[in-house]
Amino acid sequence: MVLQQPTKPGSSSSSQSIAPLESGDRLTRAEFERRYTAAPEHFKAELIEGVVYVASPVRIIHGKPHFNLITWLGVYSTATPGVDGADNATTRLDIDNEPQPDVLLRRVEGGASYISEDGYVEGAPELVAEIAASSAAIDLGTKKNVYRRNGVQEYLVWQTFDNQLSWFRLQDEDYALIEPDNDGIIRSTVFPGLWLSVPDLLDGNMIEVLNVLQMGLATIEHQAFVTSLQQG
């Protein structure tokens, strides 16, 4: 969530009477949103298990992988009517958790999430991806458990310091780590045709990442998925 509260010239800001958000604050979701809305500057903050996490400035070790994940998932979304994606969209999961996933992918109709009247994602997207640099302990710990408990079907964590990608799939109410096949490819089960060449992604070879994705988009499974989405 990135918001800015305008102030009228000659008047004091209404936010002066509202405490600013700080990492470690323990708040209800309603109080988190109240303080966030009143904040006079732009920044990223999340509520995870009732605890506030305010993001640090973003370095290229986060920004470049983030850009590449958006490219990959954006192409899939474009080729799959009925599937929508978002970058850094505030997501209301439950009363204690309001994360802002780096990237998410969701079914527009018939999925577990919807768009609220005030324009936020409500409920669990089918797929969430996080870039984990300094946040690895949170992304692979508390946040992973939050996504699992709320029913995010597939969860990707790219640990940029180690240049390692972990793909988790919800199975029997727990996350199972999915390994690439002999060709280095992982194939999504919740989004047919979403194929990822893990070694090429980690090497920054986006041409090959998109070539492998195109192979997935050309499958009968993807075509059947698109048809099912169009039929509702």
Confidence (pLDDT) at 52: 85
Q: 133 to each of 21, 22, 44, 157, 199, how far by Cα in Å? A: 22, 20, 16, 10, 19
**pLDDT single digits (tens) 96-129:** 999 999 999 999 999 999 999 999 999 999 999 9
Contacts 24+ apart (CB under 8 A), 202-210: 202/163, 202/164, 202/165, 204/64, 204/68, 206/68, 206/71, 206/72, 209/68, 209/71, 209/72, 210/71, 210/72, 210/75
Q: Assess contact for 106 and 83: CB atoms under 8 A.
A: yes
| Integer Cα distance of 51 and 62 in angstroms | 23
Q: Which domains, from first to last, does the chain contain? A: 16-54 (no CATH), 60-231 (3.90.1570.10)
Nearest alpha carbon to residue 133 among 170, 89, 102, 169:
102
Confidence (pLDDT) at 7: 38
For residue 103, list its beta bridge partners: 87, 129
Instruction: Give 97: exposed, middle or buried? Use CB within 10 Å, 0-12, 13-18, 19+.
Output: buried
Confidence (pLDDT) at 122: 97
Predicted confidence pLDDT, tens digits, the chain (232 residues): 444 443 333 333 444 578 888 888 888 888 888 888 888 776 788 889 888 888 777 788 889 999 999 999 999 999 999 999 999 999 999 999 999 999 999 999 999 999 999 999 999 999 999 998 766 777 888 899 999 999 999 999 999 989 999 999 999 999 999 999 999 999 999 999 999 999 999 999 999 999 999 999 999 999 999 999 988 7
